[in-house]
Amino acid sequence: MLKSNLLCFLLILMLSVFTGGEDAYFGGSLGRCIYSTRDYSDMVYISAYLFNKDKYTEFNSTVGKFVGYTDYGVRNAEYWNNNPDFMQQMRAEVDRFCRHNAQIFDSSVRDKTVKPTVKITSVKQPHGGHQAMLMCSAFRFYPQRITVSWLKDGKPVTSDVTSTEELANGDWYYQIHSHLEYTPKSGEKISCMVDHASFNKPMIVDWDPSLPESERNKIVIGASGLVLGIVIAAAGLIYYKKKSKGRILVPH
């Protein structure tokens, strides 16, 4: 499912003690709201406290308390966990801050979404590998966040899969490509599943192992040209024979 990381905010409080202008100390906190479902049922609020880029304590709404990672962090975690009013406030942040802002953010973004065009094509291995390779491409979508995955007979595939990042087209739209290496098996169903904010549910596109449309078009055009050539040649031959019957050959 589509994963979102809402309103990451980093508050850096710089406490500097200069000795010759070289030493500086940085402390701050990082708050994150993480969810993957559209009803926000799995919303998680995380608040981490850092000093000189090292995390010393963290609050996680799924745990429901602070956890310390250093001696100083353990002491702080114990102090905060024993403060009922403060803990009640921290546990309420998942609703007050996360779910509230997620609804505002998603509603403003989903009104401006553009659905991707998704197709599966067969491509050649870059280094002449023996396995077959499929590419699932999603074009011209907005916003940027998207999830592309593969299914075999309806079951997720996690191995032999490589994907690009979301690539900007330069016109506010994005594209992404995911590759799957596989060994063809009779009767096996391979699908590409795409989840995006513009969908009410993930889109699933099945791979059709029959001749690609571009190849079919080439065959149709070639066959049409061949038939047209035969018709023109036959008409020319008939015309030539009719003309030949009315001529008298005079020997020189």
Which one-letter amino acid corresponds to residue 10? L
pLDDT for 166: 93
Domains in the chain: boundaries: 4-110, 117-206
Topology of domain 4-110 in CATH is 3.10.320
Q: pLDDT tens digits for 126-155?
A: 666 557 899 999 999 998 889 999 999 999
DSSP conformational letter for 143: S
Q: In this structure, what token pair is assigned to residue 119?
A: 């197709």
**Phi, psi dihedrals of residue 49, rounded to the nearest 5°:** -115, 130
The pLDDT of 78-92, averaged and rounded, is 95
Residue 45's pLDDT band (cuts 50, 70, 90): very high
Q: Which CATH number fits domain 117-206: 2.60.40.10, 3.30.70.20, 3.30.365.10, 3.40.50.300?
A: 2.60.40.10
Res 58 pLDDT > 90: yes
**Phi, psi dihedrals of residue 54, rounded to the nearest 5°:** -100, 130
Chain length of the chain: 252
Which of 160-164, 166-170, 182-186, 191-195 shows the lowest mean pLDDT across its residues? 182-186
Q: Rounded distance, CA 75 to CA 82, Å? A: 11
Report in angstroms the alpha-carbon separations of 250 from 152, 240, 241, 243.
Answer: 79, 19, 18, 16
Q: Rounded distance, CA 64 to CA 90, Å? A: 8
Res 39 pLDDT > 70: yes
The pLDDT of 109-120, averaged and rounded, is 87
